[in-house]
Amino acid sequence: MTSGLRSEKQEPEPLPEPFKVNCQTEVEVKHGVGLHARPSVTFTRLAKSFPCSIEIAVNGSDVWLNGKSIIKIMGARIRKGSILRIRADGILAEEAIRALKELIERNFDEEKKHGRTT
């Protein structure tokens, strides 16, 4: 005997915008020596604080690197004047892109930390 009620699996509701987004931006690296050790660590730490995937491409390359990998970022040998394309996919992607772009534009806050200008 059945009660007439059927249990149906319901698909989870998609996340509302702006929580799940695919987005991309470009920014020029103006830091005096590019992304050496300290700026690379600062960049990847910030990238890892977001739950989305983050990738970068350098100077128009079609090769996308994991923006959360210190090895990939330092290995790219990103110099002053390089143009970074940053893309993010997933939850809080738009916020991640904005934060990373601002970090680069602020020269990784190194002037504040070390009392010097680049």
Question: Which residues are annotated as catalytic?
Answer: 36
Distance between CA atoms of 47 and 96, rounded to whole angstroms? 7
| Bridge partners of residue 66, in order along the sequence | 55
3-state secondary structure of 118: coil
Is the sign of the CA dihedral 57, 77, 28, 54 positive or negative? positive
Displacement of CA 74 from its chain's centroid (Å): 15
